[in-house]
Structures are given as C-alpha cells and as structure tokens.
Structure 1
Amino acid sequence: MGGYADLQFAYFNHGENQNRARGSQRDSRLAFDTTRLVLSMEAGLEEYGLEAEAEVEFEHAGTGAALELEYEEFGEYEREVDKGGEVLIEELYLSKKLGRYAALTVGRFYVAMGTLFEYYRPTDYLGTVRDEAETLIIPNTWDEMGVQLKWTAPWGLRLIGQVVNGLDSTGFSSQQWVVGGHQRRFEVARASDLAFVGRADVVRFDGLTFGTSGYYGNTTRNRPKPDLIQQCENGNDNVVAPCGYVSAPLVILDAHLSLRKGPWRAKALVMWGHLSNAEQVSQRNARLSNLLGVLRTPVSDNALAAWAELGFDVAPTLHLGDAHQLFPFVRVDYADSEFNPRAELFDNPRFRRTVYTVGTSYTLEGLAFAKLDFSHRRLGAVTFRPENTLRVSTGFVY
C-alpha cells in the first residue's frame, strides 16, 4: 500500500479572468484546495516475475460528470452525473519480467514523456505545484491505456517503448495546446488512432538521470464523431469515411534532466511539439457543440515549454539532523502554446507565459512535507499586468 496527499493554500493579487485587454484585474483573494489524495496498491508473484499496480486519485473533493453521445437524440451530447467526486484511475496494470533486464506491461500507465512521468509525487519536486510549463502544453501526469516494454541495460541505459491510445483533437485549444485532448470526457477511450512513445534515459551515474523522449500519434479518428473526414465525390454512404480521415498527426519531443547529489537537487526540461493540419482541426472545432464542454479556440501548429529548478539542502548547516531536509530553491517556467504558429493564426502574446518562483521545501523523514513559495508570472507583452501568487502546501507521502 502507498500513496500521497497534497493540500494547498494560496493568495493571489490578481483576478481569475486573463482574457482582458491588459490581462487580469488587480484583486486580493484566497483559495484553499484539497488538491489530491492518491492511493496506490501493489502486489506481485515474485517467483513468476509478475507485478500488478493500481493507483486511484481523488481531486479537489468535488463532483464529477461524464458525457455520453446519444445518437437516438440526433447525435447530441448528454451529461450524466455518475461519480461522487473526481475519482481517476491513473494506473492499473499488470507487468511481467522478461529475463533480468526487461519487463512487459499491459494496462493503464503513465505516458513516458517529460519529467512528470517519474517525478510526480510532492516530494519529487520542490515547488508547491508541479511545473507549470510542462502542464500547460501536455496533460498533467499523462496516463493512457496500452502496452509498454522496458529494458534496462546493466551498464546504465534505460529504454521504454509504449503503444497507447491517442489524443482526441476536439479538446485542443489556444491556451493549453493539446492538454484537453486527454480522453476523460467519455466513459470509453477511443483508440482508432494509436500513439507511439519512445524514451531513452542514461541512469549509470549516481544521482543523475538525463535523456530524451518522443511521441507520435494521429488525433482525428479519436474524436467523438467522425466529423473530420476527407470530402470526395461519389462516396459510399455505407462507409463512415469513404475517402478517409483528415490526417492530423501530433509529434512531441523533449530533453530532460534530474540531479540529486549531496545537498543539491535540480531538474530541467525542454519540450517542443508540432500538430500537422492544425488549421483544419481548428476550423472544425469552432463548430463543435456547446455541450461537449471544450474551448473551441484555434490550436497552434507548434508549442514550446522549458523549465528548470535548483535547490540546496541547508538542514546540515542548521544542524537539524538526518531526518530533516530543508531546500531553499528557485524555479523558472516558460511555456508558449502558440509558438511559431501558421501565418493565418495571430501569435497572441497572452499565451507566452514566464513564471519565476522562489521558495522553501521542508521534508521530514521523506514522509511529511511543508512548502512555501512565491511566484511572479509575466505574459508575453508589457501591456499585460504581471500576476503574483503566494502558496503554502502540506501533505504526506508513504
């Protein structure tokens, strides 16, 4: 058994609405959030090399709803409240060892992209929240269903290959690029378009891991309706897409690093992505039903994110003992969800965001933690008002 919990207390000097001519208005507000409670269970048959894991996340102590597509009601979307809270199964898989160095996994698991693939627990990062840059262009702790093969060489190279269900392009938007393509609105994930993920990490150096990841998958056949298809004459009415679907493949590449050596801790990431035929996706998304609950804003051809975090443990200097870790840290996040867009799309500076964060992270025995940080966010033009946030978080990992 294992899990973790995170509680957030935040002060903001700005309003929530950023879609104003000069950005958000000045304000003074507090927000308390039961951010998440995650419970995990692991079991195994060691003599057979079998391992099973399940991880369930409870978010925000709220209520949840699911959408159903009712063709009997002229293909409209119907919302049904069917969950007593935002309860998400993020991992549910069975893994089989293949010899000493390889393992095959089937089920729901984290997509092997970015830093949050491995470092998603509150004690894995120093800030009160996960890095904003990464979560502004790809799903936060991105989980999908499929098959994974992992191989770790004895001389320190780890390779991961995955085949998973792809994203749904109806959720793509200006503000968060492909984040909304994560299939959580319906009860069943569509996998007509599969995605392929590859990751290579060097793990031979004590406390240092670095590597690269790549993602490729089409996004049009996982839409709720087959509404992004090629037009042609004399098509067969008995075929859903007689002339085929519009191709809108998504490519994401990243380079990442993690350091935990002596009193130093650091992480860094650079991520770039490209969506082909983004103009056709945007045009079709603009005509989606209001009931689908998506933003319906144009999606950019490209997105870029980068972030870095550096901390130094001062607990030994303060003679606090081995049970304590106290990390003052600095972090910089940069994300542009409309990076180098097509000529027809206005490069809105509102979607270029840079966040500077300073703070302190305290951990007791690697179990209980408390964090305090201050962040200063600037948008991509001086006409937008800067935004300041003070956060405190606490919780546990076990």
Structure 2
Amino acid sequence: MASENAEEEHAVVTEGPWKLELEGYGELQFSWLDFGPNQNREGGSRDDSRLVFEQTRFVLELEGEMPYEIEFGAEIEFEHGGTGAALELEYEEFGEYEQEVEKGGEVVVEELYLAKSFADDAFWVRAGRFYVAMGLLSELYEPTEYLAAGRPESEQTVIPGVWDELGLEVGSQLGPVELTAQVVNGLDSTGFSSQFWVASGHQRRFELVRATDLAGIGRVDVTPLDGVMFGVSVYYGGTSRNRPKPDFAEQCPDGDLQREVAPCGYVSAPLLLVDAHAAIERGPVRARAMALWGKLEKADVISEKNRNLSNNLEVLRTPVAEQAFASWAELGVDVADFTALNPRHRIEPYVRYEYYDTMFDTREDLFDNPRFEKTLYAAGIGYALDEAVTAKLDWTHRSFGSDRLNSENRVRLGLGFVY
C-alpha cells in the first residue's frame, strides 16, 4: 500500500512542474461630497459640492502548485492607476533622501510567498510576503466580501489597510478552530502621526525592508457553525530600530561611536495591538464586526524624534498618541431571497457604523485633537450577480469629536468585480 501511494505521489509530481491559477478583483468609486478637501481648518472643512471619481484598485492574484505540493502565491495591486515612488537614503549625498519615481498611485506586490501544507492541510507553514493576521480586512477585502461601497475607514486608518509584511507563518486547522502565528518585520516609527497613528509606519517608502525590530502575531478563529466565525488577534513588536537612521540609539558617555552604531543599545518603543472580530453569513443575513485597541510605548520620544526628521522623508511629523481605538460593524439582508428572483442575484440593503480615534488616550502635554475622533453612519443598497459583479450605492455621515467641527456627508457608488 505504501509503495502504491508513493507511485501515485510520484505520478502527480512528474505530471507537470506547475499548476497555475489566475484570480483577482477590481474596484471603481464615484463620489459626491458636500465638504471641501481641507479638514484642518479651525472649524473643519467648509461646505462644498464636488464630485470625485476614483479607479480604486485592480488586483492580479496568481496561485500555483510546484513539485512536492509546495505552493506559491503572488498578488500585485494597481492602486489609482499609477506607479509608486521609492526613496533611497544616499549617505554620499550627506544622508539626504532621494526619490526615484514620482507619480500618483502605486503598483505594489502585496503577497509573494512559498507555502507547504501537512496532514491533509491540518498544518501549514508559509514564508515570504503575506497578510498580517490582524482585523477583518486581512480576510474579507474583496468587493463582494464587505457590504458597503468601500472598505471600512476606521480599520484602514488606525493600522495599515489590508496589512502585508515579510516573514514566517505557521498555522493549524483543528476542527472548528484555526490557529495562526506569524513573525514579521516591525513598523517604522518615523511614519507615525496624529492622523494615522501607526498605519503610516508601514514600510513602503524604501526599497529595503528593515527588520531589526521584529513583530509577533497570534490569531485564533473559531467557526462553530457554517457561516459563523469569531476570533481574536494580538500583535506585539518593536518600532524604534526600523527607522532609516539610528536616531533612537541610547546616549552613553563611554560608547565607541567610531566602531559601533549604537554601543549602548536602542531605546525600546514596543507596539501592542489587540482585536476582536466576527463575521456571519446565514441565509439572507450577512454581518461583520471588529474592534481594535492599540498602545504605543515611548510615544512622546517618537514624537520628539519625528519632529526633527528631514522634509525629504515625506512624513507628517505630527505628535503620535499613546493609544488608539477603532471599531466598525455592518449588517445586510438579501431581500432577493424573499422574492421569486433567480438565486444568482443578491439585492442587499445594509447599514454600517464606525467609530475610531487615533488619539484615544494622550499624555498630559499633548492636546487631544477632536478632529481625529470620528463617528460614521452609512446606509445603502448593494446588488451582486453570482458573487462576481457588484454595484453598491450608499450615503455616509461623518461627525467629529467636537460640535465646532463641520460634519461631512458623502454619496458613493461603488462598482466591483471578482474573477
């Protein structure tokens, strides 16, 4: 029996070196806004009436199987129809930053990994660039997988949206429980800011990814029933040693700076993130919910160091808070399920609620700016055909942490497809 299995496995291996599968998705958005583009005025944005059209993203996903059941995956995302920009730190140019390409939009490799499964997919290991197992957008990011016309603003503001990093992942599927553990490169604290907290610390400005500070992620997801999932995730990692220059080195009088970059080590500034999430798809009902809290140590030191960064680094250089919070929930019901329409069609009224604050808790000497505390209410209707083509129309109202700031309204049409 063992020899027969070996022959069968060998036959599969020699049948062909590659098995390829091409997938992907695309999104377009057309928005009407009743507010001006400058939200930083004393009373918030001024009243306006303007249209914004956006080629949001087009994504190519390539999956394949190589000999010995080794899998690979690659994902290339074209954002806003443009090309990206890379920064190089030129020490020969007195340590100044040099930008190679400048154009709106990005072309980004969001996934590039090798993976191997064991014991009928009960265990797996993956190495390369992959999605960080935090929040819901790491799992439900295609236009047919969330209800509203766009991805939730809250999750994309506090942490990197559909967050990808380089590293190693191991996981296990034990009945209804899925366990995931990852070790990846940490964030770069030069990008931390009042407006985007740690989200803008995602390392995309340079060609090389600095991983002197690593991060560990643990995630547990439970699926007790078909269409019901809930779980928690934890992220913990350093942020001070991935900066482009060693400006977080400890100051010491007897260190040999001629021979060592940081003879007395670095100031530690760890980041902790914790989230709880859930998703339901039962009959005509779909619902998603996520809440995330984060704490950044030495936020005051990071703010002080960032204030002195070069303009050429193109970061905001605004003070960063010690804590941030984000939450969102959406609920939709497929009314086509109650009609005589072909089940290939989905007509889904939905509502969404979001609350987030990138200055959720601040130190005494830092002003808790109410413009970064935001509450959003959205209502709309979506149509989907075969879970492959979707159109969604919704209205969103955004308010801030102070009545002195002008509230904002948006009507948005989102078009998407999955192939």
Task: Give the TM interval when normalised to the shorter protein.
Answer: over 0.9
Where 1:4 maps in the other structure, the secondary structure is strand
Q: Which residue of 1 aligns with 2:84?
A: 64
Q: Which residue of 2 aligns with 1:49?
A: 69
Question: Structure 1 84/392 Cα, relative in aligned 2: closer, same or farther at 3 Å?
Answer: closer
Q: Identify the match of residue 371 of structure 2 among 347, 350, 353.
A: 350
Q: Identify the match of residue 196 of structure 1 among 216, 222, 226.
A: 216
Q: Percent identity?
A: 55
- Deviation string for 1:147-180 (max 9, x for gaps)? 00010102x1100000000000000000110011
Q: Which residue of 1 aligns with 2:288?
A: 267
Please provide the CA RMSD for this pair: 1.2
Q: Identify the match of residue 384 of structure 1 among 405, 415, 419.
A: 405
Alignment of 1:173-322 (within 5 A): 173-237=193-257, 238-322=259-343
Q: Which residue of 1 aligns with 2:5?
A: none
Q: Which residue of 1 aligns with 2:44?
A: 23
Question: Structure 1 84/337 Cα, relative in aligned 2: closer, same or farther at 3 Å?
Answer: closer
- Structure 2 CA distance for aligned equivalents of residues 224 and 125 of structure 1: 36
Q: 1:228 Cα deviation (Å)?
A: 1.3
Matched, 1:78 2:98: yes
- Structure 1 CA distance for aligned equivalents of residues 139 and 202 of structure 2: 19
Q: 1:293 Cα deviation (Å)?
A: 0.4
Q: Larger helix proportion, structure 1 or 2?
A: 2
Q: Identify the match of residue 35 of structure 1 among 56, 61, 67.
A: 56
Is the contact between residue 132 and residue 138 of structure 2 (CA under 8 Å) also seen in structure 1? yes
- Structure 1 CA distance for aligned equivalents of residues 101 and 311 of structure 2: 18
AA matched with 1:247: S
Q: Which residue of 2 aligns with 1:332?
A: 353
Where 2:150 maps in the other structure, the secondary structure is coil
Q: 1:64 Cα deviation (Å)?
A: 2.3
- Structure 1 CA distance for aligned equivalents of residues 348 and 192 of structure 2: 37
Question: Structure 1 83/375 Cα, relative in aligned 2: closer, same or farther at 3 Å?
Answer: closer
Number of residue pairs aligned between Structure 1 and Structure 2: 396
- Deviation string for 1:169-206 (max 9, x for gaps)? 00000011001100000011100000000000002311
Q: Which residue of 1 aligns with 2:388?
A: 367
Where 1:72 maps in the other structure, the secondary structure is helix
TM-score, normalization: structure 1?
A: 0.98
Unaligned runs of 5+ in 2: 1-21
- Structure 1 CA distance for aligned equivalents of residues 243 and 119 of structure 2: 39
Q: Which residue of 2 aligns with 1:167?
A: 187
Which structure's CA Rg is the greater one?
Answer: 2
Q: 1:257 Cα deviation (Å)?
A: 0.3
Q: 1:142 Cα deviation (Å)?
A: 0.2
- Deviation string for 1:335-380 (max 9, x for gaps)? 1000111111111111100010001111101111101000000000
Unaligned runs of 5+ in 1: none
Where 2:361 maps in the other structure, the secondary structure is coil
Runs of 4+ in 1 over 3 A off after TM superposition: 82-85
